A = this chain, B = another copy of it.
Amino acid sequence: MPKVKVQISMSLDGYVAGPNQSEEHPLGEGGMDLHEWALALKAWREPHGHEGGEVNESSAVMGEMLENVGAVVMGRNMFGPVRGPWEGHPWNGWWGDDPPYHAPVFVLTHHPREPLQMQGGTTFYFVTDGIEDAIARAREAAGDKDVSIGGGASAVQQALEAGLVDELTLNVVPIFLGAGARLLDGLGDAQLTLECTRAINAPAVTHLTYRVSR
């Protein structure tokens, strides 16, 4: 049974991006520190065209994150600093001509735009009807495979709040960002039941996987 899964890096104080996000600092000040563990891995470097890299307890988790993904959902900030209207803004995402998704990607936005076909099997679809519609379309596109919600904080929150997430993996990085985008705010009334199915401690990160239901 295909699932909707989230895997996201979070500081110990709960932030997935630091303060003052900008085109220069898309993850906010200090936000890149959340991803150092991943960027050091062979499992990240290889699919992104780089040699070398570490193999450790995180490698399998990174592999899982990328495997069996049939479609991706992401918020507009994750797609880029341009929020539309799109005419005259030739923003095609952060990732160059060949984004690392190799699957349909559904981008939440308030501004309609024609689908954007990139190299390597990635096509960006722009969804203006909210998270439920984006996930429904992604599920359909993914077929037997999983849907991955890439972020950011708001997209993940909305999906959790709507009861549409089956599995949540938090890559907990032991730093304090102090401010920025907090992942798990506003869920006090969401009536979710979580069970931690796995805790893996690795260099510079601890991976906690939760089964989520309502």
Contacts and interface: CB of A to CB of B under 8 A. Distances in A.
B188 A174 contact: no
A14 interface: yes
Contact of A176 (B174, B177, B190, B198): B190
A185 B12 contact: no
A198 B206 CA distance: 9
B210 A174 contact: yes
Contacts of A14: 13-14, 184
B172 A208 contact: yes
Interface in A169-196: 172, 174-179, 184-190, 192, 194-196
Looking at chain A's contact residues, the main secondary structure is: loop
B199 A176 contact: no
Interface residues of A, number: 29
A200 interface: yes
A68 interface: no
Nearest to A178: B188
B178 A186 contact: yes
A212 B195 CA distance: 28
Nearest to A29: B188
B176 A195 contact: no
Contacts of A197: 201
A89 to B, nearest CB: 33
A186 B13 CA distance: 9
B206 A199 contact: yes
Contact of A13 (B185, B198, B208): B185
Interface of A: 12-14, 172, 174-179, 184-190, 192, 194-201, 206, 208, 210
24 contacts: A12-B184, A12-B194, A12-B210, A13-B14, A13-B184, A13-B187, A13-B188, A14-B14, A172-B208, A174-B194, A174-B196, A176-B187, A176-B188, A176-B190, A176-B192, A178-B186, A178-B187, A178-B188, A178-B189, A179-B188, A196-B201, A198-B201, A199-B199, A199-B206
